[in-house]
Chains A and B, each alone.
Chain A
């Protein structure tokens, strides 16, 4: 009995040690994040936003804008994947980057980003001054996220396609459009990529 007790405690300690990895902080824009096969990961949003913005900034989309900087209204982004997530995870990165770039301004008066308080404040201001605010955006930003899956034996593959278009309101035509595909393959989720 006396001999078995330490062995029992050692076995418990060993099993507890094998129980898993302790939680730690990782760089959410680095390569240490978890890569899943059944959902869009945080790095997928970052990579997609980076590629799409790179394409947008390289285009002459804003060159013929009627005012500088032009005003963009963000439309709803359609999530056509099998998983539920807030598409703002992509759009907020795009909004932030566009605003910081100084190339355009995002409207909070119309579109998916419409803010009730902003509109109320604007209505009060226009009532006081007597001037009607021009809330008409010059462009709208629309998008869609798609998913395509494939399987070969135990290996699964999933492709997420991030599509984004900039539409000129005056002509109702695309002035810029691009997509970014992100494909992940494997049999299970992994830490790091």
Chain B
């Protein structure tokens, strides 16, 4: 009889401890991102070129390709990160290549200014100017005077 009482008392104590522990647990969901640290494959690195000064400052972290809404043109999204704490003033251009790997005729790429605050990640989305463009290369250079 006293043995039964002892078992019931122990079970109640365990349930009580479990209830207290559960009520003290944080109520915020701490679900991790499926891909917390985006990465770029060595194969994708061929689409990215920087000058030596920018090599350690601006890093590509994600590259994705698809088709634009018109259903014919290549669409590319690149995420770059400023890995330093200082603001980086850079310029980039996209060289579009045809199926022979040559620069797209009649299309001179334009240098576009880009400001990257320290640690910032920016998305660059570009659409090919012609369905003839099947490949691309991003070229980043440091802004003059910095």
Contacts and interface: CB of A to CB of B under 8 A. Distances in A.
Given A57-B70, A190-B145, A43 B111 contact: yes
Contacts of B70: 57-63, 103
Interface string B108-146: 111111000000000001111111000000000101110
B49 interface: no
B68 interface: yes
A100 B107 contact: yes
Contact of A60 (B69, B91, B93, B128): B69
Interface residues of A, number: 28
Contact of B129 (A29, A51, A53, A61): A53
B106 interface: yes
Contact of B111 (A30, A53, A63, A103): A30
A192 interface: yes
Contact of B108 (A29, A43, A54, A192): A29
B47 interface: no
B103 interface: no
Contacts of A29: 93, 108-111
B59 interface: no
Interface in A22-61: 29-32, 43, 46-47, 49-51, 53-54, 57-61
Interface in A53-82: 53-54, 57-63
A31 B69 contact: no
Interface of B: 68-73, 75, 91, 93, 106-113, 125-131, 141, 143-145
Interface of A: 29-32, 43, 46-47, 49-51, 53-54, 57-63, 96-97, 100-103, 190, 192-193
